[in-house]
Amino acid sequence: MSRVASSRLLPRISALSFCTASPAATAASSSSSPSTAAAAAAATAAASEASSTSGDPSSQPPPAARKLWGALKVAAFAAVSAAVGGTGYASYAYSLEELDQMTREFRKKSKHPIPEDASGFEKFQAMAYAAAMKVPVAAIEGYLDVRSQIEDQIRGFSEPVSDKLLPDRAPQEQHILTLVLDLNETLVYSDWKRERGWRTFKRPGVDAFLEHLGRFYEIVVYSDQLSMYVDPVVDRLDPKGNIRHRLSRVATKYEHGKHYRDLSKLNRNPAQVIYISAHALESSLQPENSVQIKPWKLENDDTQLLDLIPFLEYVAMARPSDIRAVLASYQGSDIAAEFIERSKEHQRRMQEQKQSGRIWRR
């Protein structure tokens, strides 16, 4: 090949080799360019849309609508608060029976039938009133039902287990008085120490007290302790069976955080019931039937039970028509000591009468 020919071919070969040196890169660039362009176009459109939206005040809700929505939320909150507050006040201030009586007429009016001879306007008015009152009446009735169920559940825990805690008396025992005795610090004292655990001690004179008065009274133990404690203690305290009945915590009335003895549930004439306890005025709902004695806390020289025997025996023999009147005459004084003083005074008067009678006969 001549020099002239080779010099003419060199530029073409070099140009050809430059164009065909990277065919894959050329293909990749050609294939990726449409997707890149599409992504860029989408981003540009989104940005323009966002800018147009943020800049367009017509897309935002008007101020009047926002104020109306805020007022509706405040009104709804106020209505709910008023309903909750009214329900709470009604629950606190009125009993279930009072609320039922107060709302009975209102609920009855909402269910008043429409007369057949009523005009069209009157029928429409009655239907509109019934529709408007449907929700309040349903709310009131629902509240009364729920409260009734709740109070029934609470009553099962707070009220005595029965309205007749003791069985009916035999006809030949209707005249016998009922002597109700507390357990802790009255007949016994329970003490706990780390080295020995729980131990129960009998009050001095309790054996003679139960055995002697068991011939005159129907003796009942009425405690605020659980039966798992009362039963074994009474079994060991009274093996001779002078205590006829025993009542535990399920027979008490729970109120204001305390367990009270409700003597009206004993199925006995209240005029024939005496309740003796170291905490009688604090634990009984009938203080007029109660005799309070000194709490016993392991004092060896205690004679409270023995001192009461003469008074209780006299009452049982005298059979007053209402024991509450007798107890009221001793109110504010130590019954045992006062009874001894009255007995001495009575004997002194009897001696004076005898002496005056002898002088008169002479």
Model confidence band, residue 104 (pLDDT cutoffs 50, 70, 90): confident
- Please provide the average confidence, as pLDDT, over all residues in the chain: 78
**Lowest-pLDDT choice from 155-159, 208-212, 350-354:** 155-159
Average the pLDDT over each of 119-123, 137-141, 185-189, 229-233 and give the range with the smallest value: 119-123
Q: Which tens digits make up the pLDDT trace of 294-305?
A: 999 999 999 999
Q: How many CA atoms lie within 13 A of 230 on its CB side?
A: 19
To the nearest 5 percent, what fractions of the chain are helix, strand and coil?
A: 60, 10, 25
User: Cβ distance 251 to 277 under 8 Å?
Assistant: no
Strands 177-181 and 217-222, by their bridges, are parallel
Percent of the chain's residues with pLDDT above 90:
43
Q: Which residue has the higher pLDDT, 341 or 24?
A: 341
pTM for the whole thing? 0.60
* 282 vs 230: CA distance, rounded Å: 20
**What is the reported pLDDT for 219?**
97
Q: 3-class SS at 219?
A: strand
